[in-house]
A and B are shown apart, each in its own frame.
Chain A
């Protein structure tokens, strides 16, 4: 599932995609159908930033199973994927809710009981795995992880002697997810996506994946995109579906739009870390399966919390 794809397969998979300039706007529920059981899923953003929480929420609601999810750093998105049974393997460099709240009991419960796998790579290694995937090469050489037990646990990475210098290098395998989930501040109906602020590994992830689902705070016109093409970070032909989803990272943050919704995060962490099974089930029932729509979910978080996060998020532009 996560083995390096031969180049012929990589090219033929891409050749089969409809890369024409066409409108791709779908509903959140329709977008979830772009993800199949057993898929490898690359997740954009990092920790509590620009996490495609709404898309993950929809995938959990759609009852997907056996997903293998990769992300540079996992936060409560990983908890929900494990806790709901949607995902049984995570590929990441760090996995907890946030350093503010210690170690995720949900992650611990699933990994320590053998219910799920947490494959650990260094942060740069994850980046170079997506980079290799985006470049259409089977690996990238790096100079970290060597000598560590992180490497000992990852036989998928190979040490080699550089043919030019004789130095020891580590080759990390390309990661080409079946599908990538990425949230952006704005994009047009074709999928030309503009990202403000921290871009993390999202550009490489988008180009590496075999399908890309964008959720966006706002769909703008193609004219608006063309007025500032230097702001476009993901080209339309890499994108397969576009969902307009305001506050689509809630309760995480979206740069320049809203900060994390700390009150809700603290409530969530208190609940699941007190009891990673029952607490998680309570949370899922109330906040994931219960709401009729994403707007309903935001309503449950509470208008005060959402507005405070939005006020703090926009303050990044104050001078």
Chain B
């Protein structure tokens, strides 16, 4: 077993590994935080033709290093963009089908990739009222999704308290049956592993372990049973180039921790 490298933070690992999931030429709808940063990183490193959309109403942004926007609705998001448009209009591009990948963070996820950002506890008498969906429900209803999030047992649960942003709902064909005929969870990237979804059951499945992480560690931090393939591979560690570029983008460590 190789020891876990300690020259980067969990936030840096998340940004780098999730950014690696993007391909040049794609149109990606990015949420604020790690997704915005990871998409910008991918654009700088490997994907100059990556088009980033923000729900504030921006097509094709090149966010400036050191000037990361505090939300996807601020003027900093429009830097060197191809187009600025209404926020309903940019969301409707998802519905029309122009977006290849939706890219979001997550607070709580379940075995079918459903995300909760609305309530902890009973919605009628919530223990905690969370901020809500924003564009998350629209993005995950209409596009193939990459989610980047911290891996903790309380965040990786069998069933979320509330489905804010739909993954595969209750698995099988339940997503399609509910009227969501396109898109769905594609990858979940955490500080421990990268996950895909089993094609028939639509359950989350580890496809690669992060550097120095064991299967046991992933299972111990997950609230539902995981099925590992015999040969689950290990992800290549972040390179110095990836780390230094990322740190240039977020010098104040706003999102990389």
Binding site for B on A (CB under 8 A): 46-49, 72-73, 92-96, 98-100, 103-104, 107-108, 111-112, 118, 120-125, 127-128, 130-131, 142-150, 153, 159, 167-170, 197-201, 203-204, 253, 255-256, 259-260, 262, 313, 316
Contacts and interface: CB of A to CB of B under 8 A. Distances in A.
A319 to B, nearest CB: 9
A316 B76 CA distance: 7
Contacts of A128: 88
Contacts of A130: 88
Given A112-B126, A148-B165, A200-B57, A99 B84 contact: no
B164 to A, nearest CB: 6
Contacts of A201: 86-88
Given A72-B87, A147-B163, A99 B32 contact: yes
A112 B128 contact: yes
Contacts of A198: 56-58, 73, 75, 77-78, 84, 87
Contacts of B77: 198
Given A128-B88, A170-B179, A256-B75, A149 B70 contact: no
A129 B127 CA distance: 29
Nearest to A203: B86
16 contacts: A49-B73, A92-B132, A94-B131, A103-B129, A103-B130, A121-B133, A122-B141, A124-B138, A145-B141, A147-B166, A148-B137, A148-B163, A148-B166, A198-B58, A198-B75, A201-B88
A199 B57 CA distance: 8
Given A103-B130, A143-B95, A199-B85, 20 more contacts: A49-B75, A73-B71, A73-B134, A94-B131, A111-B129, A120-B132, A121-B133, A123-B55, A123-B134, A130-B88, A131-B88, A146-B178, A147-B163, A148-B165, A168-B179, A198-B58, A198-B78, A199-B57, A262-B70, A316-B78
Contacts of A121: 133
A120 B75 CA distance: 25
B84 A48 contact: no
Contacts of B127: 112
A143 B140 CA distance: 11
Closest 7 CB pairs of A and B: A127-B88, A147-B178, A168-B179, A94-B134, A144-B141, A96-B131, A146-B179
A46 B131 CA distance: 14
B87 A197 contact: no
